Each structure stands twice: as C-alpha cells, then as structure tokens.
Amino acid sequence: DVKVTQSSRYLVKRTGEKVFLECVQDMDHENMFWYRQDPGLGLRLIYFSYDVKMKEKGDIPEGYSVSREKKERFSLILESASTNQTSMYLCASSRRGRSGGYTFGSGTRLTVV
C-alpha cells in the first residue's frame, strides 16, 4: 500500500525551539509539498519541491525552511517556533508532469506553548 508517512501525529514544542517535521514517501514521486491547515483558512501552501535539493516558496513560507536531500524525504523546519505556528501540518507528494492527485500523509498536529 503506497503511502506518505509523517513522523509524528502529535507534537508539543516550546516557543523558540527548532522543530523538525519529517515526511517520507515510498512512491518514487518527484514532487513533495508542505501545507498547513487552520480552521476557517483551509490548506495553505508553505513550501514545495520538484526534485532533490530543489525548493520553492509557497504562499506562507515565513518562519519555515525545508530540506530535500533525498527523493523520498522532505523535511519542514520551524527555525524558532512561535505560538502562531500551532497548526495541523500536512505533507503530500505527486508524480512530476502528470496532473494527477496528491497523496497525503495523516498530518502532524503541532502545538507550540
């Protein structure tokens, strides 16, 4: 069963901590994405990557960075966590060049206290 795996379902971090959210896919997809989901705001794109070592800013990249050292892994980094980064974080992947559906992970609910 093909899937996207996010390392944690729930995470609680303190303000100012550096936070790593990991995402791994086993479908050999070229494209990977990070979204955050907040009530009333829907899903908003943070960063995406179309290939190893490539990254593109989404709509809300401020306060975040990403790393894609291997094709199957896309990490989201909160450089200095703040309370307004409390959210559900969703990772997704897709195949390059084909307009097809995304495969999503189960999400990481991050709380920053």
φ/ψ bin of 107: left (φ > 0), alpha (ψ from -120 to 50), beta (otherwise): left
Q: Would you say 74 and 56 are in contact if contact means Cβ atoms under 8 Å apart?
A: no
Residues 43-82 that bind another protein (CB under 8 A): 43, 45, 48, 50, 58
Backbone angles phi, psi at 73, to 5 degrees: -125, 130
Does residue 1 bind another protein (CB under 8 A)?
Answer: no
* Closest among 19, 23, 20 to 6, alpha carbons compared: 23
> What is the size of the binding site for another protein (CB under 8 A)?
28
Among 42, 62, 83, 84, binds another protein (CB under 8 A): 42
Does residue 84 bind another protein (CB under 8 A)?
Answer: no
Residues 5-34 that bind another protein (CB under 8 A): 31, 33
Residues engaged in binding another protein (CB under 8 A): 4, 31, 33, 35, 40-43, 45, 48, 50, 58, 88, 90, 92, 96-107, 109
